[in-house]
Structure 1
Amino acid sequence: MNKVNAIIFDLDGVLVSTDHFHYKAWKKITDQLLIPFDEEVNNLLRGVSRLESLDIILDHSGLEVSDSEKKMLAEEKNQYYVEFLQELNETNIDSDVTSTLEILIEKNYKLAIGSSSRNAKFILERTKLKQYFDAVSDGNNILNSKPHPEVFLKAASYLMESPENCLVVEDAYSGIEAGNEAGMITVGIGYAADADSAQFSIKKLSDILEVLKN
């Protein structure tokens, strides 16, 4: 394994669990449209941009809408999501997450967020996680969402690190693919723990410390 100087974390599903907020927001939209939506379809949206998520939902329902309607629906979904995020605070963060981040900082690793979400900075503020990160690359500064590697490559650039010296922690298959495409070491957690393309697999965030030892 190359020398790791920096670690780039996906946000949703890795450091913070916001799945239920996304689900509730999309459910409000699909109920309005009178189309089906369940957890199985919701799982297909991991690591995917808002408009691409809407395309997946519409494809599964067979409903066709115009591009202008799609933009309106995606924005409406985000408004619901942001409303639900008001419930989020530091108590929603597992102690395993904060203790692991503190240890990594003590060991002088550079830390960054690499998330397709446009709400990443807001979530970091709400959960008091912002203090742990040297850089944030998110949906506001990229043109291509995962599995395109752009969000991770920008995070490495912000940290002034070469991609080969960066390790990515992801819970989505699309994120693992993006990390591999970026030439980074990839670690799967949660839904991506069984991804064959992930170079390492962990059950909880603190397991990353063992990966780094090796």
Structure 2
Amino acid sequence: MSRAATGEGTLVVLDIDGTLLDTPHLPAWRRGLARVLGDHAPDRSAEISVEQYHRHVAGRPRQVGAAAALGIAGLDPTPELVEELAVVKQELFLEQAEETVLFPDARDFLDAAAREGTPVAFCTASRNAGELLAKRLPGLDGGDWLLDRLHQSLGPHGHYGDVPRPEALRRVARAWNWSPDRCVLVDDALSGVLAGQEVGMRPVLLDRFGLGVAAPGCPVVATLDELRPLPGGLRLPVA
């Protein structure tokens, strides 16, 4: 893959869950679904594969993810079941949330971005990811600078879990007075990448698990080490 393209003069928008933070969302979805199925459909399987999670659940608002998880299990995602699973999953996630860590390549990437003064911003549909990241940034080089950029990116609520992903990305761009077509989005979820393309951002898909997920015209990297923060943007692979 050529490494010739440079996204200079761009705002680098970073997804948080799965891109920067190794959050226990998939285990929580699996355990939550098992609990709900035990009450309503004990003959159904609660297993969600890594590929199913990244294709259908990751990067989506909680209720949307719950509906997708129920569908994977072969259940009709009625509003009552969706809400039940969403609540149970959140309870289980919070039990493990403090075990969340930065991926090593994410730590290196953020350290480099702070040193270079790369114009970074953050976006998440999770109601918890922003707070979890905020607790882990002070230990990094330039942690205070990164923390300020996190807070400005996510606004007073600390997340964009209540709006569709394309609108969340537009809000992040507006928070920094950048047009979406001058933004590079780095996301590990196909849904996030497609939302970025919808609003005119240039997306990069992070495929940590080698799932072969792809979107037309979107470069794919296996690790953030393949992306180089620059003072004016990001060294990019070519799709």
- TM (norm. structure 2) is 0.74
Equivalent residue, structure 2, for 1:212: 234
Shift of 1:141: 3.6
Counterpart among 158, 170, 186 of residue 203 in structure 2:
186
Gap runs ≥5 in structure 2: 1-5, 39-43
Equivalent residue, structure 2, for 1:106: 115
Query: Counterpart of 2:192 in structure 1: which amino acid?
Result: G
Counterpart among 18, 23, 29 of residue 13 in structure 1:
18
Shift of 1:194: 4.8
Q: Could you tell me whether the CA contact under 8 Å between 1:13 and 1:190 is conserved in 2?
A: no
Query: Structure 1 residues 207, 173: CA separation in 2 closer, same or farther (over 3 Å shift)?
Result: same
CA distance in 2, matches of 1:14, 1:197: 20
Range with greater deviation from structure 2 (150-159 or 101-110): 101-110
Counterpart among 60, 75, 81 of residue 72 in structure 2:
60
CA distance in 2, matches of 1:115, 1:189: 15
Q: Could you tell me whether the CA contact under 8 Å between 2:125 and 2:162 is conserved in 1?
A: no
RMSD: 2.8
Counterpart among 42, 51, 57 of residue 53 in structure 2:
42
Counterpart among 147, 163, 180 of residue 163 in structure 1:
180
Shift of 1:162: 1.5
Counterpart among 102, 116, 132 of residue 93 in structure 1:
102
Aligned residues: 207
- TM (norm. structure 1) is 0.81
Equivalent residue, structure 2, for 1:195: 214
Shift of 1:153: 1.0
Q: Could you tell me whether the CA contact under 8 Å between 1:2 and 1:164 is conserved in 2?
A: no
Following TM superposition, the consecutive aligned residue runs of length 4 or more in structure 1 with deviations greater than 6 angstroms are none
Equivalent residue, structure 2, for 1:122: 131
Q: Could you tell me whether the CA contact under 8 Å between 2:28 and 2:93 is conserved in 1?
A: yes
CA distance in 2, matches of 1:63, 1:6: 41
Gap runs ≥5 in structure 1: none
Query: Structure 1 residues 70, 123: CA separation in 2 closer, same or farther (over 3 Å shift)?
Result: same
Query: Counterpart of 2:114 in structure 1: which amino acid?
Result: I
Query: Residue 192 of structure 2: SS of its match in structure 1?
Result: helix
Query: Structure 1 residues 6, 72: CA separation in 2 closer, same or farther (over 3 Å shift)?
Result: same
Q: Could you tell me whether the CA contact under 8 Å between 1:113 and 1:155 is conserved in 2?
A: yes
Query: Residue 234 of structure 2: SS of its match in structure 1?
Result: helix
Q: Could you tell me whether the CA contact under 8 Å between 2:10 and 2:183 is conserved in 1?
A: yes
